Amino acid sequence: MTAPATLAPDMMVGAAEIARFLYDSDEFRFQRRVYYLCTRSKRPLPHFRLGHRIATRRSTLMDWIALQEGFANA
């Protein structure tokens, strides 16, 4: 079974890909920040697991970022 065509471009799988999106770099330190945001942050990064890898959708991540901006302005 394959993912719908509309879902595939929206998916990010792996800390390196998510770090590239958030920090414009996939250096190890930014990948560790992604893991931190997923596990120990007050407002965790929305994610799910695909085996041992973390995954998220770009659209969900953009909503999460907008929510974080709202907390900063409040």
Confidence of residue 5 (pLDDT cuts 50, 70, 90): low
Residue 1 clears pLDDT 60, i.e. is over it: no
Q: Are 9 and 46 contacting, i.e. CB atoms less than 8 angstroms apart?
A: no
Residue 7 CA to residue 23 CA, distance in Å, equals: 23
Identify the helix (H) or strand (E) that includes residue 48.
strand 48-50
CA pair distance 24, 57, nearest whole angstrom: 17
Going by pLDDT thresholds of 50, 70 and 90, the confidence category of residue 3 is low
pTM score, two decimals? 0.82
| Residues 48 and 56: beta-carbon distance below 8 Å | yes
Two structure tokens written together for 12: 């990010």
